[in-house]
Amino acid sequence: MAIEPEPMNVRYLRMRFRRFSNFIIVPKAAIDRKGKVVLYRTPDDSATHSTVYSRGGGSIEVEGDTIDHICLELGLREIDFMAMDVEGAEAKALGGGKKMLGHTRKVVVGAYHIVNGRPTWPEVERLLRRKGFKTLVSEDGLVHAWK
């Protein structure tokens, strides 16, 4: 499953994975609530759009939803491996997945972003430890977590 809010990225994912009947694309932003959210676009880099900060590429309004609600809608009861890179919104995205984190075995979060002058990895690590994960933070700010 891929959760992706930016319409052009969703289009690319659909083109790339159209042959795989078991691959689900959810055209939403993973956040801590259900509803509309502003997605700030990054000029010339579709991989670094953010719901947290602007890099001067304009913005669009997209649907946001929680990981818990998305998994409930899809009938998913457990996650073997979750990878996340949400450009500074890591805590919000994980906060919207508190129930599913209880049923997740391994997680890797790209938490190398700076929000309000602070790196995001310490908060991500704390949140995952509170959910029962053992963690390791790599030098490049990736938070690895497992049960």
Domain 2-146 has CATH 3.40.50.150: yes
Domain spans in the chain, listed from the N-terminal domain onward: 2-146
- The yes-or-no verdict on residue 56 having pLDDT over 90 is no
Burial class (CB in 10 A: 0-12, 13-18, 19+), 128: buried
Tens of pLDDT, residue by residue over 79-94, are 999 999 999 999 999 9
How far apart are the C-alpha atoms of 118 and 86, rounded to whole Å? 16
List CB contacts of 67: < 8 A, sequence separation 6 or more: 3, 30, 93, 94, 96, 97, 100
Which pLDDT value is given to residue 43?
Answer: 87
Tell me the pTM: 0.92
Tens of pLDDT, residue by residue over 20-39, are 999 999 999 999 999 999 99
